[in-house]
Amino acid sequence: MQLKAELQAHQLSKESFEHDNEKVKYYTGLPNFRVLVIVLNIVTPFICTKNIGLGIF
């Protein structure tokens, strides 16, 4: 379990941001995961891209 936790700590995924507000602040400047989700919900409809292979995380 410790190895899995260490791996998750180094990944940029929804799960890693969800439980680490310091990581959210470092990479986005936003105070916490909840604010990040709110911002993503607002801006996602306006993002035009042909690369549909990437999710919001």
Name the residue ranges covered by the structural domains of the chain.
Answer: 2-45
pLDDT value for 41: 93
Check: pTM over 0.85? Answer yes or no: no
pLDDT band at 7 (very low <50, low <70, confident <90, very high): confident
The three-point CA angle 9-10-16 to 5° equals 50
10-41 pLDDT tens trace: 788 888 899 899 999 999 999 999 999 999 99
**Is the pLDDT confidence value at 4 over 90?**
no
Say if CB 13 and CB 57 are below 8 A apart: yes
- CA 4, distance to chain mean position in Å, is 18
Report the C-alpha gap between 47 and 54 in whole angstroms. 12
Assign 3-state DSSP to the chain and report helix, strand, coil percentages, each to 5: 65, 0, 35
